Amino acid sequence: MKTTLALCTVVVVMALSGVDAHADAGDDRVSVTDVLAMMDTMPGAPGDPKSTTAYPWSRKRGAESVARAIAATAPDREWAARMAVYTIHESSLHTECVAGDGGKSHGAFQLQGVPDAVACDPAKAAPVWLARARKSAEDCAALPPSERMAELTSGSCARGRMLARLRESFVLRALARALPPATAPSIE
């Protein structure tokens, strides 16, 4: 248990600080197939603690276009997993221009403050989401690594810490279950 916890902590710290967790493996880019596999590690109701069974998210309409956008944008597997987790949590992978947060957020990545033409196109929305997530990690650098997406989830580093931790646990789950063993993070 201590080894697993230590490994999880190392992966989170490396992912949020931009360290390449797979430096020996060469290019760490992720494929569309990898992203779809990461999506399929998520439970059917990710916000419900009682929902633990993996759901076939990759079969949902829109999943492939979101996965293509993530694969084209994510700098590495950790960020790809994070992007997949957040799109499932935020929009359930709906690519229609769904509105959330009282009509303020739109699209698969539930972006605010951008034109619908950007928010509602996963290929255009993914880089915007990644930039905002990296800003959250930078702005919340004083928080524990698992809470650095608090600003992204709530608009403030002071709020959203529990939600950020929950989502980060799903990121680790996606990495542990979806990565081929040869490229999975190792303590060796």
pLDDT digits (tens, 9 = 90+) for 39-59: 999 888 876 767 778 888 999
Give me the pLDDT at residue 38, please. 93
Distance CA 31, CA 105 (A): 27
Compute the distance between CA of residue 131 and CA of residue 126 in angstroms, rounded to an integer: 9
Tokens representing 50 are 């009682």
This prediction's pTM: 0.78
| Range 27-50 average pLDDT | 84
3-state DSSP call for residue 106? strand
The pLDDT value recorded for residue 102 is 63
Answer yes or no: is pLDDT of 145 > 80: yes
Triad 49, 181, 29: Cα angle to 5°: 85
- pLDDT value at residue 7: 36
Please say if the pLDDT value at position 20 is more than 50. Answer: no
pLDDT of residue 43: 86
Calpha distance 185→43 (Å, rounded): 22
Contacts with 164 (C-beta within 8 Å, 6 or more apart), sequence order = 146, 147, 148, 149, 150, 152, 153
Going by pLDDT thresholds of 50, 70 and 90, the confidence category of residue 178 is confident
- Worst-scoring range by mean pLDDT, 37-51, 57-71, 98-112, 174-188? 174-188
Does position 126 have pLDDT exceeding 50, yes or no? yes
- Say what the pLDDT of residue 185 is: 52
Lowest mean pLDDT among 27-36, 71-80, 158-167: 27-36
Mean pLDDT, rounded, for 175-179? 80
Domain ranges of the chain: 2-178
Average of pLDDT values for 111-133?
94
* Section 113-138 average pLDDT: 95
Q: Does residue 117 surpass a pLDDT of 80?
A: yes
- Buried-state track 71-88, b at ≥16 Cβ within 10 A, e below 16: bebbebbbbbbbbbbbbb
Could you give the count of Cα atoms lying within 13 Å of 131 in the half-sphere of its Cβ? 6
